[in-house]
Amino acid sequence: MGYVVQAKGAVTAHRAHATPETLTYCGLGPPPKPRYRTKPVSLREHVLTGGRTAAVTPTWRAGVKGNLTSQAAEGKCRPCR
């Protein structure tokens, strides 16, 4: 997925630099699968850590009473399942 247009703040995601790690296999049972060792954080927390400087104000068209604008924040993260 290249980008997310809109998401609820309660959705969790890992930081962009998080990578799944595999534990060493001890020989009993199936081999361990890769998993993230860090706890996922809500998208709201991701946006808040960026601060006000990370927010941009896009204008998509001129309306009758002025320009139609919104506020958006961009950042990289890995969504959780």
Task: Write out the residue range of the structural domain in which residue 37 sits.
Answer: 12-79
71 phi, psi to nearest 5 deg:
-120, 135
Cα 33 → chain centroid: 23
Q: Mean pLDDT over all residues of the chain? A: 83
**Measured distance CA(57)–CA(69) in Å, rounded:** 6
pLDDT given for residue 72 in this prediction: 80
Which pLDDT band, with edges at 50, 70 and 90, does 22 fall under? very high
The total number of structural domains in the chain stands at: 1
* Mean pLDDT score, 2-23: 80
User: Alpha-carbon distance 60 to 79, whole Å?
Assistant: 27
**28 part of a folded domain:** yes
Q: Does residue 49 fall inside a structural domain?
A: yes
Does 65 map to a domain? yes
**15 vs 76: CA distance, rounded Å:** 7
Q: In this structure, is residue 5 part of a structural domain?
A: no
In a domain, 47, yes or no: yes
Q: How do residues 36-63 score in pLDDT, each as one tens digit?
A: 888 898 888 888 887 777 788 888 788 8
pLDDT surpasses 50 at 1: no
